[in-house]
Amino acid sequence: MCGIVGYIGKKPAAPLLLHGLSKLEYRGYDSAGIALAQPGHLTVYKSVGRLQVLFDQVSGGEELPQTVGIGHTRWATHGKPSDENSHPHLSLHGRFAVVHNGIIENYAQLKKELQENGVAFRSETDTEVVAQLLEKHDSEDMLRTVQNTVKELVGSYALGILNAAQPDEIFAVRRASPLIVGVARHGYFIASDIPAILPHTRRFIPLADGEIARLRRGEITVWDEAGKVVEKPVQEVTWDISSAEKGGYKHFMIKEIMEQPDALAATISPRINDKNEIVLDGIHLTEEELKSIRRIAIVACGSAYHAGVVGKYLIEKLTRIPVEVDIASEFRYRDPLIDKHSLVIIISQSGETADTLAALREAKARGARVLSVVNVVGSSIAAESDDVLYTWAGPEISVATTKAYSTQLTMLYLIGFYIAEKLGTLTREEVLSLLHELKRLPDQLRGILGLAPQLKQLAQRYAYLEHAFFIGRNLDYAVALEASLKLKEISYIHSEAYAAGELKHGTISLIEDGTFVVALACSPDTVEKTLSNMKEVKARGAEVLLLTTEEHRQLAEEADHTIYLPRVHPLLTASVEIVPLQLFGYYVALARRCDIDKPRNLAKSVTVE
Question: Half-sphere exposure of residue 604, counting CA atoms within 13 Å on the CB side?
Answer: 29
Of 88, 282, 55, 267, the C-alpha closest to 170 is 88
**Does 2 participate in catalysis according to the annotation?**
yes
Torsion of the alpha carbons at 196, 201, 206 and 212, rounded to the nearest 10: -80
Indicate the residue type of 411: M
3-state secondary structure of 459: helix
DSSP conformation letters of 560-591: SEEEEE----GGGHHHHHHHHHHHHHHHHHHH
Q: For residue 578, which amino acid is it? A: I
CB atoms within 10 A of CB 495: 22
Nearest to 345 by CA among 381, 383, 318: 381
Q: How far apart are CA 531 and CA 581, in angstroms?
A: 19
| Residues 544/559, Cβ–Cβ less than 8 Å | yes
> What is the DSSP annotation of 47-81?
EES-HHHHHHHTGGGTT---SEEEEEEE--SSS-S
Q: How far apart are CA 335 and CA 338, in angstroms?
A: 9
How far lies 591's CA from each of 235, 467, 584, in Å? 42, 16, 11
Q: Which of 2, 301, 522, 594 is catalytic?
A: 2
Three-class secondary structure of residue 556 per DSSP: helix
Question: In whole angstroms, what is the distance from residue 288 CA to residue 10 CA?
Answer: 57
Q: Where are the alpha helices (DSSP H) in 297-392?
A: 302-319, 328-331, 354-365, 380-384
Measure CA 41 to chain center. Answer: 37
To the query of whether residue 594 is one of the catalytic residues in this protein, the response is no
Q: Give the whole-angstrom CA distance, residue 373 versus residue 357.
A: 12
Cβ–Cβ under 8 Å, residues 66 and 12? yes
SS3 307: helix
Beta-bridged to residue 37, according to DSSP, are 42
Spatial separation of the C-alpha atoms in residues 244 and 251, rounded to whole Å: 12
Q: Is 354 helix (H, G, I), strand (E, B) or coil?
A: helix
Catalytic residues: 2, 604
